[in-house]
Structure 1
Amino acid sequence: KVYMIYRRDEKTIIKNTTYEEYHEAVEEGVEFLFHSAVAEMVDEENILKSLLIDKYELVPDPNGGRAELVKIEGASYVIEADYLIPAVSQSADLKLLPPEWEIEMTSWATIKTNGKDYMTSRKGIFASGDCEYGPMTIVNAVGQAKRAASVMSRYIQTGEITLTDEEIMEDHLKKLRVYDKKEKITGWLKGVPRQHSQVLEVEDRKYNNKEVNLGFTQEEAMSEAERCMRCYYIAMVQA
């Protein structure tokens, strides 16, 4: 029996992984304990026996920030356990920032910028990547670092904050949202559904380490590669 103890809700865990990962785990019998966290580990002679789990509720932030987790008194419960595998979150260690700089922070305890040129509330200090947005992908961090380095280079040379034409266009395309998975495709150019690769049946993947996702066939791979990604949206902007 496997439990996944998670402080937030189903919607959040899907957002932070994928629906497929979550759904396949549920299929395989993993029980998700939402709005819960380990309060105490109970052992006998240094051998884990059970976990005391605290139950929480999400209280919205009136200022629009991240909802706060508030413990529900009297709702704690115990589950038996043989193993505990911690998978804690990450946060930026910002103790290196001198307090006298008075750099403005977000409600997520990250450094606040305007998200475009990555200048902080203190002129000449820039921030990007995880310390600005929180834990994200390497692709996001590298892309933001590239933009920040570009802006800082011009700032050092001219003393001004500017964006290149390419960076301005990048922001326009981001607002345009070229890809919208909820968009209904109509007209003569019909939408082609996304291919889904074959996976092992639930009973065949529960108790072993076999490869679960079997990948695309040649025909499926070619069909996926040929799908229209709405590139003409970009052409319309450039025109």
Structure 2
Amino acid sequence: MLEILTRITQGKGRDSDIETLLSIAKTVKECSLCGLGQTCPNPVLTTLNYFRDEYDAHIKEKKCPAAVCDALMISPCQHTCPVGINVPKYVAHIAAGEYLQAVETIRERNPFPAICGRICHHPCEGRCRRGELEESVAIRALKRFAADWYFEHVDELPEPEPFPRTRNQKVAIIGAGPCGLSCAYFLAQAGYGVTIFEAMGIGGGMPAVAIPDFRLPREVINSEIDYIVKRGVEIKYNTPLDTKFTIEHLQANGYDAVFIAAGAQKSQVIGIPGESEALAGFHYGLRFLHDAKLGKKVKVGRRVAIIGGGNVALDASRTALRLGAEEVNVYYRRSREEMPVTEVEFDEAVSEGVNVHFLVGPTRITSDEGKVTGLQCIRMKLGEPDDSGRRRPVPVPESEFFAEADTVIAAVGQAADLSFLPPDSALERSRWERLVVDSNSLSTNVAGVFAGGDFVFGAGMIIDAIAGGRRGALAIDKYLRGDRSRVQMYDTRQPGIKEAEKPITEEEGTWEAAFRPEMPMLPIEDRKRSFSETELGLSEEKAGYEAKRCLRCDLET
């Protein structure tokens, strides 16, 4: 068993290893006559039972979710990044004042440095080894600094040119969100002709229509999309797929492959009494943010109640304050630990005056004469974990209470909208109304048709959607080349290959505690009165200081 486990941690695992481990562990446990023999297989059996996905990640994707298997990674931050950005390299470029090279390094894996520099949930920082000394490197903030520098100096830099067209085939992408745009970018980079068909009149997907300007200004999205178009990607706006313009039509018009990246743009229904869009004062979170982002007149009352605890809920709460609400209360049925938002987002919402009530589950939306009057709620406690791994909220008997509100916003999740697919479409769907795809290649049951991102896997983080787009591009490239091998999205350290290093100075050879600089913020009172961006970005001096805090784990031998 030790030999097999060691081989798995070294990236040499085989598909048959899991069954072999189970067989050996069970045999040892059942046949041993001593206590030692009967108990020694327990760690293997237990981890296979509860952490099977981690074994699969190690064997199939050469990924260590905990970022501790050195043989599988170059650095923990790069390994943890869903798209595998060479973080130490671009941080080193910033430290050296080489900002263009930093942006180019980021774009090797991610065509959205400015967007992700603002709204990425930065899992890389959670694995940064500098954090074991004092604080992790501000990787996201450095990404934004480099991207902002690029767009501020874009007129002085060489004009981006289209990637060379080296392949005869062409690919159609459905949806100009982060996943679709990423797939198109990497396919164009691989030499294919790429056209994106977008239903709306603007690109960017959910970030463009649902993430408020105070977190992600529209001009930042436009700049990123403009760069992708200049690299050779064609986007056809106001061109939705429907029963009259289908995937079959695209294939008949000469597209050799189709990638569906339509996103998750439909709000999920809560399913409680009184929930109705016909009520004055009731909104679904995505529609509320969409209308506010596009400048439509959105009316909120004096007291706003928001149901949910994710990004949409907090974005809606902060938007409501800016639209004139005097009191905003967020009701979340779990605790802060289960809340799927970053510390930055949560802290900013609270500092602006949003009240977050944990372990509270709304049970009814009350109304009078067609107008919202409040929420009937019950207090919750956490029980056993559910399928998501989070502890399931359980109602506390006789703990009901009423929360007065004249506006209620439901923000409990998002789902894909498959209505553009004809009822007789050959594409296989799951019982959750999602397309069924191969987890590695993202291929559907229809030859040449692929799908990925939120449209397939449900609403997630933007960096995961970008990773899905890149995986889709790699898979389509393999398909069009006739290569049926697995898609590989991992980088491993190559023995004997090491970046050239200058001699270490006495100053660099010593260590002193150095903490990350605080992100400059718009004053709180100014935030409440406008949709101006709240994070102002690092100065060149602070960015240089922060970049030099990187320990360059990638240079370890």
- Relative to the length of structure 1, the TM-score reads 0.63
Between 205-214 and 71-80, the greater mean CA deviation after superposition: 205-214
2:510 matches 1:161:
no
Q: 1:81 to 1:168 in 2, by over 3 A?
A: closer
Determine the C-alpha separation between the residues in 2 that align with 1:146 and 1:32.
Answer: 36
2:320 matches 1:7:
no
Structure 2 unaligned regions, length at least 5: 1-326, 494-508
Describe the SS at the equivalent of 2:490: helix
Structure-to-structure mapping, 1:23-172, within 5 angstroms? 23-61=347-385, 65-93=389-417, 116-118=440-442, 127-155=451-479, 157-158=481-482, 160-163=484-487, 167-169=489-491, 172=492
Q: What whole-Å deviation, never above 9, does each CA across 1:52-104 have from its counterpart, x for those lacking one?
A: 12333443347774544444443221011122233341123569699x99878
Describe the SS at the equivalent of 1:20: helix
Task: Quote the offset at 1:201 in angstroms.
Answer: 5.9
Structure 1 unaligned regions, length at least 5: 174-186
Determine the C-alpha separation between the residues in 1 that align with 2:384 and 2:356.
Answer: 22
Aligned partners of 2:329 and 2:356 also within 8 Å:
yes
What code does the residue aligned with 2:359 have? H
Task: Quote the offset at 1:3 in angstroms.
Answer: 0.7
Q: What whole-Å deviation, never above 9, does each CA across 1:119-144 have from its counterpart, x for those lacking one?
A: 68x79785532245432233421322
More helix by share: 2
Does 1 or 2 have the higher relative contact order (CA < 8 Å, sep 6+)? 2
Q: 1:86 to 1:65 in 2, by over 3 A?
A: closer
Aligned partners of 1:128 and 1:148 also within 8 Å:
yes
Task: Quote the offset at 1:224 in angstroms.
Answer: 2.9
Q: 1:130 to 1:34 in 2, by over 3 A?
A: same
Q: 1:80 to 1:112 in 2, by over 3 A?
A: same
What code does the residue aligned with 1:130 have? D
Determine the C-alpha separation between the residues in 2 that align with 1:219 and 1:57.
Answer: 48
Determine the C-alpha separation between the residues in 1 that align with 2:360 and 2:453.
Answer: 29
Describe the SS at the equivalent of 1:60: strand
What code does the residue aligned with 1:199 have? M
Aligned residue-pair number: 212
- Relative to the length of structure 2, the TM-score reads 0.31
Describe the SS at the equivalent of 1:150: helix
Aligned partners of 1:155 and 1:161 also within 8 Å:
no
Determine the C-alpha separation between the residues in 1 that align with 2:454 and 2:513.
Answer: 36
1:208 aligns with one of 520, 529, 532: 529
Query: Which protein is bigger by CA-based radius of gyration?
Result: 2
1:221 aligns with one of 543, 546, 555: 543
Determine the C-alpha separation between the residues in 2 that align with 1:116 and 1:27.
Answer: 42
Q: 1:158 to 1:76 in 2, by over 3 A?
A: same
Aligned partners of 1:35 and 1:55 also within 8 Å:
yes
Between 83-92 and 187-196, the greater mean CA deviation after superposition: 187-196
Task: Quote the offset at 1:46 in angstroms.
Answer: 2.9
